[in-house]
Amino acid sequence: MPADLSATEALGLFHRVTLEQVRQDGPDLSLRQLALLLHIYLVPPPHTVRGLAAALGVTKPVITRALDTMGAMQLVDRARDERDRRNVIIKRTVTGALYLERLGDLVRNEARRPMP
């Protein structure tokens, strides 16, 4: 889907989307948590803490803290890898999938609105 937006228009779209998310009564994710959630749902699994840390260019404790928060919101789940108990596999949840579906709809709807 090609989009021919200027930098200012792209930032305006991002602004409208983030404002609408703040106005809604849902999880309030940091950019790091949102990037992590998008990676988990858009990149094919399996996902491990180590792999996510490498993909995002942050440390494993940073990923663990983000996963703690997102796990409490039921956006992701964790389970020990049965083949290698040292690894923790990050799993998608229905709640997380619905959150991102609503976010995708919001982005699409805001992109269709005329610029102010």
pLDDT tens for residues 41-100? Answer: 999 999 999 999 999 999 999 999 999 999 999 999 999 888 887 888 999 999 999 999
CA distance 41 to 100: 8
- The answer to whether the CB of 87 falls within 8 A of the CB of 63 is no
pLDDT of 2 reads 56
**Which pTM value belongs to this model?**
0.88
Amino acid identity of residue 11, one-letter, is: L
Which of 73, 80, 69 has the alpha carbon at shortest distance from 32?
A: 69
Q: Using the predicted structure, report yes or no on whether residue 1 has a pLDDT greater than 70.
A: no
pLDDT of 84 reads 83
